[in-house]
Amino acid sequence: MTTHRQTMTNYYRIQSGIYDASRWTFLYGRSRIIDCLRIQPGERVMEVGCGTGSNFEMIQTCLQGAGELTGVDCSAPMLRKASQRVRTNGWQNVLLIDHEYGAESITRGGVDVVLISYSLSMIPNWEKALASAQLELRPGGRIGVVDFCKPANSSKLFSDWLAVNHVRTDQPYEQRLQETFEQKTHYRYNAWAGMWSFYMFIGERSAAAQQEVA
């Protein structure tokens, strides 16, 4: 039986080489969500599904040479690209972890910000991933998710294409985010005249959630 790790590794073996040159055409909202997360110098940031590290430069600009950035991904080809990016830029505050996210948290309360950018819809155990992300955050820590969504009038052709590329848009991601975190921002946007849509969610881990775990 093929595991999710194997599927992602096989899929991105070729895709990793063209990822940065092609994904900008339809992965919208990445810069916006990082701006809205208001990452501060010295904070600890974790990106789940970091891929090639295409968001790292924007995050590092916010950190201003301080703090920590942890990138998590389960695709070796993508992590190799991310590692190359880190070496090229000489970043000393980046840790890359090869991990199929969702089974358990990595830091358990050790980070200030969790970013999930177009990867939640590719995680089979996405509900466990959100539960783990909640545990990563300190009380008051922020989570930012940007991903595809499927309104009733969206293009079936595009949704079918996403499904072929291991992206599921038919799950209640936004509902579970609202149930798990204290919502601060939640928007939906249409792209290419409604051919597809994406959402942006920003929430916080409440003190009550910390007490429940304790």
pLDDT digits (tens, 9 = 90+) for 83-127: 999 999 999 999 999 988 887 789 989 999 999 999 999 898 999
For the chain, what is the domain count?
1
Residue 201, CA distances (Å) to 7, 83, 109, 195 in order = 27, 28, 20, 21
pLDDT at 42: 96
Domain that holds residue 30: 4-213
Residue 99, CA distances (Å) to 16, 40, 141, 152, 169 in order = 17, 26, 22, 34, 23
Report whether 27 contacts 5 (CB < 8 A). no
147-157 pLDDT per residue, tens = 988 765 566 77
pLDDT at 41: 97
Closest of 181, 164, 154, 148 to residue 30, by C-alpha: 148
Residue 34 burial class via C-beta count within 10 angstroms: exposed 0-12, middle 13-18, buried 19 and up: buried
Report whether 148 contacts 121 (CB < 8 A). yes
Q: What CATH number corresponds to the domain at position 19?
A: 3.40.50.150
Report whether 56 contacts 69 (CB < 8 A). yes
Report whether 51 contacts 119 (CB < 8 A). yes
If you compute the radius of gyration of the chain from its CA atoms, what whole number of angstroms results? 16
Report whether 153 contacts 200 (CB < 8 A). no
* Token code pair at residue 157: 């052709």
12-56 pLDDT per residue, tens = 555 544 555 445 445 778 999 999 999 999 999 999 999 999 999
> What pTM was computed for the model?
0.85
Report whether 201 contacts 164 (CB < 8 A). no
Non-local (6+) Cβ contacts of 21 within 8 A are none
Which residue type does 165 have?
N
